[in-house]
Structure formats: structure tokens, C-alpha cells
Amino acid sequence: MDSRDLDEAVAVRADFVDGQIYPRAFKREGERLDVTSINARWVDREGDCPLHYFSVQAANDTWFIGLRTGDMVWKLVKRIVNRCHPLMRRH
């Protein structure tokens, strides 16, 4: 696995249902990446404003994205490139 820290503003399509946030897709470098699963979610704080963070699967990689509620800006925080170990690949 290869981990890359990011700090990029990003457009996110999300559903807001019953007080929960569900990221569904985001656009990076002109490419739409569909979220296939939400692995985890947590809330941090920046002053009085909650920061909502998510670990999601998209395009076979793990992405960490965050929503700053103070200004409603989404950020890509980290990408973990999931690569199979050569010995684990099927022939």
C-alpha cells in the first residue's frame, strides 16, 4: 500500500439523511469517482464548527475526505493506493 497525504478542495455529491452525511461521489482532476462503501466516519471540531471525516472506497483505493461545516468546504485528506502484493495475485 502507498499512502499519500492530500489537502485538496474537492466537489462531493453527498446525501444528508436523518442527520447523517453519506458521501456518494467526488470529482478529482476532472474524473468522477463513485463511493462504493463508507468504511468509517468520525467528527472532530475546529472552534465551534464540526469537521465531519469519512474513510471511503472509490476507484479501488481508500480515500479520507472531510467536510468543514464552518464554510461547507469538502477536502481530500489522504489517499491509500491499494495494490495487491505480487505473491497474492492470481495467475
10 Å CB burial of residue 35 (0-12, 13-18, 19+) is buried
Geometric angle at alpha carbon 6, from 60 and 65, rounded to 5° = 60
Per residue in 57-73, pLDDT (tens digit) is 999 999 999 999 999 99
Distance from chain centroid for Cα 53: 8
Conformational region of residue 47, where left means phi above 0, alpha means psi within -120 to 50, and beta covers everything else? left
Predicted confidence at residue 86, as pLDDT, reads: 52
Its pTM stands at 0.85
Per residue in 5-47, pLDDT (tens digit) is 999 999 999 999 999 999 999 999 999 999 999 999 999 998 8
